[in-house]
Amino acid sequence: MKRSGPLAVSLILIATACNSKKPSEGKAPPVATGSGSAGSASAGSGAAPAPAAPAGLDLAGMNRGVKPGDDFFRYANGTWFDRTEIPADRASWGAGAIASELTATRVADLIKEAQSAAEGSEARKVGDYYAAYMDDAAIENKGLAPLEPRLAAIDGIADHKGLCRAIGETLRADVDAINNTNYETPNLFGVWIAQDFVDPAKYSVFLLQGGISLPNKEYYVDASEKMAEMRAKLRAHIEKVLTLAKRPDPAGAAQRILELETKLAQAHASRTESHHVKNGTLHWSRAQLQQNAPGIDWTALLDGAQLGSITELVPWHAKATSQISGLVKNQPLATWKEYLAYRLLDHASPLLPKAFADEAFAFYGTTLAGTPTQRDRWKRAVDATSDAMGQAVGKLYVGTYFPEASKQKVAALVKNLMTAFDKRIDALAWMAPATKAKARAKLAVLKIGVGYPDTWRDYAGLEVVKGDALGNAHRAAMFEYKRNLAKLGKPVDRDEWVMNPQLVNAVNLPAMNAMNFPAAILQPPYFDPDRPTAMDYGAIGAVIGHEISHSFDDQGAQFDETGRLKNWWTPEDAKHFAAAGKALAVQYDAYKPLPDLAVNGTLTLSENIADVAGLAAAYDAFKASLNGAEAPAWNGLTGDQQFFVSFAQAWRTKMREPALRRRILTDGHAPGEYRADTVRNLDAWYQAFDVKAGEALFLAPEARVRVW
């Protein structure tokens, strides 16, 4: 899933979004994992109901002409892959995207019903938020008027102190990567309020690099023709936005802004460097902050960010923070003002007149992701409403589409997976008893959330105004930011959910020793209580196992049972674990999705470890659930074959080239095709499909990676 904040380790990115949402700005937030969303007939959209995933397994989508041992992804998905056209409004399509589309249409129906709820009720707020987003006539009529006060404030910045305060006012809780928030993206820095890595009893402020329009630094520093073209298109996009807003000298300003963003990108840590959890152990006092990053007036910035009372923070990207600070001091004030105005306009574009929204999609949707057509407005409105009032919308979804029986069955699956993982730890011949004891202690305290949170979030303090789409988005962003700020000084809440129930995704929070499995991922093709159990273990079971394994991947294994970043390994065990990880990285380095670009085995290592360990634990749990009996055959497939095909079909994905390129360069998850081929590391897969030496995926037994 997608990495999202210092405390989350993500799982799948099953439903990669393909719309005009902004890239994640190279922040590579520290440790998290997730997946996607789903639907029926849309609320007033006129669209046909989204197709549900096939019951059981999609036999017609397989290609039995491909040997499983040569290309298991194609064996399980080849006919589907060859016959499927990616929808025009998507950068990718697959199992998770189908589930997401179905969920979106169901949510749209629920939101439409909420428009007639009692005035002042939470449900009515949901309905009013959606209705304001859908009122494109009102948005068109208002033009830039809703932004004029903020643009005037930027134009009025008179000195360095005023600039620093203005930058501080744009800091936001960096939840973009978890719930796909696409409004109010922070400038220069993102803020994450999360459990401290050194003292897990308290919350700390984590400062993350940001401030660029392209996905990460490689897009700015790579000298290739393709990336040079991308930078030229960014410059043209900036000029177009400034022209639409009638800002002065749009061509010159666009060039200056691009040069400034390039300097910011050059200062950034790489995606791989951002991946290291030890970045979270460095704490700077206020005095050290000013000493180590002297180009910023930190008192002014933190006051602007409503963080004036903090005594220290965690600079996740310490070197980048220092270098960005220098740019704040030595780059012209006039250029910074142009930059801030552009960023404000660019982020607000989806809620500005159509010309702005179309330009935002043309660049972020088509140029960066290869998506030909912008998503229908009702779909964007569903996303925006879920972003703003996620748990309020989730409450509506769960009440209709997630029965208690499903929750209980998934909880039983989780219990079985935990038992299987515990037994796998106990059976590790290479691990010392002391390390095993620590690992099992950590497993024992994992807190599993299934479907939805025990306590729903209260939105009473959020003001939603009819007909004020942009104002609603701004107030929602500030509401979320202040909700996070309010955590400071309070006990850590391990029950907090970081994903909305209507999201097709899952997450592990290794410092909090907690996991979330939202209701929307607990549907086909991942979970279906009416199909053979083997299929559920192969799909949602592997997802659950993956998330459990994130507590023991190359990052999660560095946290102890209290959530403290602390070594609990013997030297020999740590050496063995590192060697297994290195072997897996080499395995993934060999995959080359594009002629000029291979998978980065180091960048994707955490997810790949979780895939291998999670699938192995899911298989053990599946076999244990049979109590020694044989699983029933289904349409000619044995139980083991059902398990592995179900796993591969859960990774069914087809991506456009620009989206695939961005995924490889910026994401900690390998493309779905290679995640499906994780099976080559399990002995049981070889037996299930009679895989022989000489076939493309064959690994000699000693070369198969066995991490947990």
Rounded alpha-carbon distances, angstroms, from residue 189 to 103, 206, 268, 301, 504: 33, 10, 11, 11, 28
Task: Kindly report the CATH number assigned to the domain that includes residue 219.
Answer: 1.10.1380.10
Is residue 251 one of the residues assigned to a domain?
yes
Is residue 191 one of the residues assigned to a domain?
yes
- Strand-strand pairing, 447-451 and 312-315: unpaired
Confidence band for 703, pLDDT divided at 50, 70 and 90: very high
Of 81 and 216, more confident: 81
Q: Look at residue 273 in the predicted model and tell me its pLDDT.
A: 87
pLDDT digits (tens, 9 = 90+) for 94-121: 999 999 999 999 999 999 999 999 999 9
Supply 156's token pair. 């009025």
DSSP state of 699: -
Q: Residue 202, Cβ neighbours under 10 Å: how many?
A: 14
Query: Cα separation of 590 and 677, whole Å?
Result: 13
Share of the chain above pLDDT 70, in %: 90
Query: Cα separation of 521 and 438, whole Å?
Result: 31
Confidence band for 124, pLDDT divided at 50, 70 and 90: very high
Q: Would the pLDDT of 468 be above 80?
A: yes
DSSP state of 241: H
Query: Cα separation of 394 and 401, whole Å?
Result: 10
> What is residue 194's three-state secondary structure?
strand
Q: Would the pLDDT of 3 be above 60?
A: no
Is residue 261 one of the residues assigned to a domain?
yes
Q: Look at residue 8 in the predicted model and tell me its pLDDT.
A: 36
Q: Would the pLDDT of 640 be above 80?
A: yes
Instruction: Return the half-sphere exposure (C-beta side, CA atoms, 13 A cut-off) of residue 320.
Output: 29
Helix axes 95-114, 122-134, angle to 10 degrees: 110
Is residue 299 one of the residues assigned to a domain?
yes
Query: Cα separation of 481 and 173, whole Å?
Result: 5
Residue-wise burial string across 10-49, b where 16 or more C-beta atoms lie within 10 A, e elsewhere: bbbbbbbbbbbbbbbbbbbbbbbbbbbbbbbebbebebee
Is residue 160 one of the residues assigned to a domain?
no
pLDDT digits (tens, 9 = 90+) for 489-537: 999 998 999 999 999 999 888 888 889 999 999 999 999 999 999 999 9
- Strand-strand pairing, 92-94 and 507-509: unpaired
pLDDT digits (tens, 9 = 90+) for 543-569: 999 989 888 877 888 888 888 888 888
Whether residue 30 is preceded by a cis peptide bond, meaning omega within 30 degrees of 0, is no
> What is residue 515's three-state secondary structure?
strand
Query: Cα separation of 667 and 3, whole Å?
Result: 8
Q: Look at residue 173 in the predicted model and tell me its pLDDT.
A: 62
Share of the chain above pLDDT 90, in %: 76
Average pLDDT, the chain: 88
Is residue 242 one of the residues assigned to a domain?
yes
> What is residue 204's three-state secondary structure?
strand
pLDDT digits (tens, 9 = 90+) for 263-278: 999 999 988 888 788 8
C-alpha 169: how far from its chain's center? 25
Average pLDDT over residues 342-365: 96
Of 670 and 171, more confident: 670
Average pLDDT over residues 690-698: 97
- Strand-strand pairing, 514-518 and 447-451: parallel
Under 8 Å between Cβ of 307 and 484: no
Supply 259's token pair. 């040069």
pLDDT digits (tens, 9 = 90+) for 44-94: 333 444 455 556 899 999 999 999 999 999 999 999 999 999 999 999 999
pTM of the model: 0.86
Q: Look at residue 172 in the predicted model and tell me its pLDDT.
A: 76
Average pLDDT over residues 424-446: 90
Of 245 and 21, more confident: 245
Q: Residue 299, Cβ neighbours under 10 Å: how many?
A: 16
Q: Would the pLDDT of 261 be above 90?
A: yes
Under 8 Å between Cβ of 322 and 292: yes
Domain range for 297 is 171-377
Is residue 129 one of the residues assigned to a domain?
no
Is residue 226 one of the residues assigned to a domain?
yes
Domain total for the chain? 1
Average pLDDT over residues 663-669: 89
Q: Look at residue 577 in the predicted model and tell me its pLDDT.
A: 85
- Which amino acid is it at 142? K
Closest CA to 483 of 398, 389, 562: 389
Q: Look at residue 185 in the predicted model and tell me its pLDDT.
A: 53
**E-strand stretches of 134-264:** 189-195, 203-209
C-alpha 704: how far from its chain's center? 29
Lowest model confidence (mean pLDDT) among 25-39, 592-606, 636-650: 25-39
Query: Cα separation of 351 and 371, whole Å?
Result: 20
| DSSP state string for 167-191 | HHHT--B--HHHH---SSPPSSEEE
Q: Would the pLDDT of 207 be above 80?
A: yes
Rounded alpha-carbon distances, angstroms, from residue 622 to 493, 546, 593, 642, 682: 33, 15, 32, 11, 14
Query: Cα separation of 381 and 383, whole Å?
Result: 5
- Which amino acid is it at 95? A
Closest CA to 276 of 608, 573, 602, 600: 602
Under 8 Å between Cβ of 267 and 320: yes
Q: Which residues pair with 594 in a beta bridge?
A: 597
